[in-house]
Structure 1
Amino acid sequence: MPIINSITKEKLSDNMRETLKKEFASMMQDVAGKSESWLMVRFTEGDDIYFHGEPLDKGAIVEIQLIGRLSKDQKERLSASICDILNKNLNYPKNSIYIVIQEFSGENWGYNGSTF
């Protein structure tokens, strides 16, 4: 049950959110074997983001949280894929995208009144 939190300075159109959601889901299936049926995506828009002490006009913070462990190669592929997706769709420079991957054991993840 992965969660992807995408944090951007700018507001996104409904079409863009749908495009990004679909591309994130495809990426999670291809790279991590995580099905879209369990994927939760959250878009946080209009946030002030600073980098090098200056406001960032184009860039993002993307947090991926999931149950289980990924290999270093899978994490590298996720990072590259996210940068490619945001660069292609939003014209964000790859060096203005930060990615955080957090892995949890099932006992630390609640859903539907229980844990995994």
Structure 2
Amino acid sequence: MPVIKTTTSVAIPEEARVELKTAFGQAISAIPGKSEGWLMCVFTDETPIYFAGDDSQPSALIEVGVFARSEVPADAWTALVEAITPAVAEVLGIDPARIYVSCSSTPNFGWNGTTF
């Protein structure tokens, strides 16, 4: 049950959303047991983002959440961030130094009116 929420200060045209959801679908496999088959991607664009007190340059916050009953290995998170960051930078023209990626896992996840 992975979710990747992308919030940017720039517009995300439809073709860019498709390109990013495809890249995210490939990247999520870095997390053991996760695949595009259950991936939900949420995109919010043109949101004011101040980074280091400055909103004059494009910025992005990517939030990754996964359902996991055990600890996700640190190297899996690293591989995921290493795949997501350049995709966002290339597709949206955002400097990687202005992209934050937040990664978290939870043993509590709901779907279809129930929890796992």
On whether the aligned pair clears a TM of 0.5, the verdict is yes
Q: Secondary structure at the match of 1:55?
A: coil
Q: Tell me the number of residue pairs that the alignment of Structure 1 and Structure 2 aligns.
A: 113
Match of 1:40 in 2: 40
Q: Quote the offset at 1:7 in angstroms.
A: 0.3
- Runs of 4+ in structure 1 off by over 6 angstroms are none
* Alpha-carbon spacing, 1:110–1:95, altered in 2? closer, same or farther (3 Å): same
% identity of equivalent residues: 31
Q: Which residue of 2 aligns with 1:63?
A: 63
For the 8 Å contact 1:9–1:56, the answer to whether it is kept is no
SS at match of 2:100: strand
Give TM-score, length-normalised by structure 2.
0.91
For structure 1, the residue ranges without an aligned partner over 5 or more in a row are none
Report the secondary structure of 2:5's partner residue.
strand
Measured in 2, the distance between the counterparts of 1:83 and 1:56 equals 20
- Residues 1:74 and 2:76 aligned together: yes
The normalised TM-score by structure 1 is 0.91
Distance 2:5 2:80 in 1: 14
Deviations 1:35-54 (A, max 9, x none): 21210000011110001111
Q: Which residue of 2 aligns with 1:51?
A: 51
Shift of 1:59: 1.8
Q: Which residue of 2 aligns with 1:111?
A: 111
Superposed CA RMSD in Å reads 1.1
